[in-house]
Amino acid sequence: MKKDHGKIDEVHILYNLDDLPGRIGLGHIRWATHGAPTQVNAHPHVDCLNQVAVVQNGIIENYSEIRQELETLGHVFKSKTDTEVFTHLIEEKLKKNLSFTDALRETLNRLEGAFSIATIWVKDPDKIFCAQKECSLTIGLGANAAYVSSDIPTFLPMTKKAVRIESGEAAILSEKGYEIHKIADWSHVSRKPKMIDWVLETAEKEGYPHFMLKEIHDQPSTLRTTIRLQEEYMELMTTFLDRANELYLVACGTSYHACLAASYMFSKMAFLSTHPVFASEFTAQIGRTVTIDSTILALSQSGETTDTLAAVDYARFQAATILGLTNVVGSTLTRVSRVYICPQAGPEIGVAATKTFTAQLSVLAQLALKLAEKRGKLSYQEMKSYREKLKQIPDVVERVIQTQENKVKKIAKKYRDQPYFFFFGRGTGSAIALEGTLKLMETNYLPSMAITTPEVEQGFISDAIQSGAPAIFVCPKDATHKQIVDAIKEIKAKGASIIAVIEEGDEEIKALADDYVEVEEDVPELLCPIQCIVPLQLFAYYMAVVRGLDPDRPRNLTKAVTVR
């Protein structure tokens, strides 16, 4: 077994990964979920007897209780990963003289979460066993070899013949080919291979024309992951939040918009006073007041944005407590944070942040909920209802994409020649209006502006809006609704074209709007931003496409701003 942390080329130079004996093998590039990116946490993981090896993607939710149980039985764990429980659980079952497939089936049935695995056993050295629950896995069939991978591009240079393994299924690869079974009862599944007509670049985008669209569509799945994050880190972060007298939420760009939405969540659910601050302004605006008693929650998709790290460095120097929320384990932000959480949205390639934004919102909502629970600020029934709604959010987002995408495409076509846009919102909706503006500006180079509706009276209502100008309103049916309706009437009276993101069945706004898209009703106010941003992401994407622009590579922008 050869494994280490670091870049693939560096590990290869150190170990020569080509020089391994045998006819079968497992390889894994780890995107750390549990445990730091170190050699001991790198995959594969093996049991106590070095007989079963496994690689895994995704998260095993109930690993902690299984690990405790197995440690009591004398199993010695080497890593901090959730993965390792898999091998020890099989080992335990093999001890009871189960066949390997029975041990595998029982193990898979015991594991909860969203994951895919591939495993080998020394006593059956010509087979690879694999399985998935809500986590992609595909078999590739070459002339003299079979492959199994979470991503088709890995085997595409060798073969285009592929068979998908569906959620809840296991497969066995051998010289004879492949067999697929249902994990629940091991019944046989018959599925023929298909030819994939993708070139490598399309395969990396999983058939989507752009990474931005793929990543918008990834959101139901990334949100499912965020509601399964490691409980102990969420708990630890909540303990630090509970100790904070006041909390500074520090970030740039999209991450800053997540901070804005979070400020409503923390104060409304948990009664914690928070201050969203642009990282670039942090030292000048807040600097003098930062002390050992201050708590800073820094948000950064990349974990490398210079302004965010500079703010964090300044606060560390004042001995403040630094908490981090970043998508990249091993990034600078993870190294300088007392506690960090990684929302596990997976790599985001499109320059415009999409799935990492909703993943951040989901984690922040969960933290606010946990804090509310700890502080006794919500009743049992309220907590229960929030938890249930949070669980439904991935499906809600999935339905919004399914039902609204074509409508958004048509709206983009209609407004493609408009030279500028205005976005309006209130409460958490104002954070979404800002994020919608940023998405449109960065992918379309169109000047656009976000206004929180009460501010309309402060100047905007002079003749700033011209007849026919597009005005996009974010209209959740919460306490802000009446005020939004009034603002729509006022802006409409100026001759603007009204485009509204409304909740299903909002007849009042439907009657006022020139165009509308619908998100779902009955999503609590503080979770609503997660669904409301989706049509605006799609709008920015389709505007870029109909205007002949490349949404993945906006001019003059980089994914992480690492200069000042």
Binding site for ligand AGP (CB under 6 A): 252-255, 300-302, 305, 308, 351-353, 438, 442, 560-561
- Nearest approach in angstroms of CB 316 to ligand AGP is 17
Between CA 528 and CA 507 the distance in angstroms is 19
Reading the block at residue 469, the tokens are 């100008």
Judged by CB, which is closer to ligand AGP: 253, or 427?
Answer: 253
Shortest separation between residue 254's beta carbon and ligand AGP, angstroms: 3
Check if the beta carbon of residue 162 is closer than 8 Å to that of residue 156: no
- Least distance (Å) between residue 538 CB and ligand AGP: 14
**Residue with smaller CB distance to ligand AGP, 365 or 509:** 365
Shortest CB 354 distance to ligand AGP, Å: 8
Q: How far apart are CA 484 and CA 473, in angstroms?
A: 8
Is 168 within 8 Å of 111 (Cβ atoms)? no
Is the CB of 308 or the CB of 444 nearer to ligand AGP? 308
Q: How far is the CB of 561 from ligand AGP (least distance, A)?
A: 5
The answer to whether the beta carbons of residues 26 and 149 sit under 8 Å apart is no
Which residue number has the CB closest to ligand AGP? Answer: 253
Residue for token pair 């149980």: 69
Minimum Å distance from CB 332 to ligand AGP? Answer: 11
Closer to ligand AGP by Cβ: residue 240 or 278: 278
DSSP string, 133-174: ESS-EEEEE-SS-EEEESSGGGTTTT--EEEEEPTTEEEEEE
Helix (H) or strand (E) holding 13, with range, is helix 8-15
Q: Which is nearer to ligand AGP, 32 or 523 (CB)?
A: 32
**Minimal distance, residue 562 CB to ligand AGP, in Å:** 9
Q: How far apart are CA 556 and CA 564, in angstroms?
A: 15
Cβ proximity to ligand AGP, 52 vs 351, nearer residue: 351
Which tokens hold the place of 505?
């069945």
Please state the closest distance from residue 348 (CB atom) to ligand AGP, in A: 9
- Strand pairing class (137-141; 161-165): antiparallel
With 0-12 / 13-18 / 19 or more C-beta atoms within 10 angstroms meaning exposed / middle / buried, residue 379 is exposed
Closer residue to ligand AGP (CB): 440 or 512: 440
Instruction: Decide whether 149 or 305 has the Cβ nearer to ligand AGP.
Output: 305
How far apart (Å, rounded) are the C-alpha atoms in residues 178 and 380? Answer: 49
CB nearer to ligand AGP: give 146 or 259: 259
DSSP letters, 456-521, are GGGTTTTTTSPTT-EEEEEE-SSTTHHHHHHHHHHHHHTTPEEEEEEETT-HHHHHH-SEEEEE-S
Cβ at position 255, least distance to ligand AGP in Å: 4
Closest by alpha carbon to 108, among 125, 130, 91, 127? 130
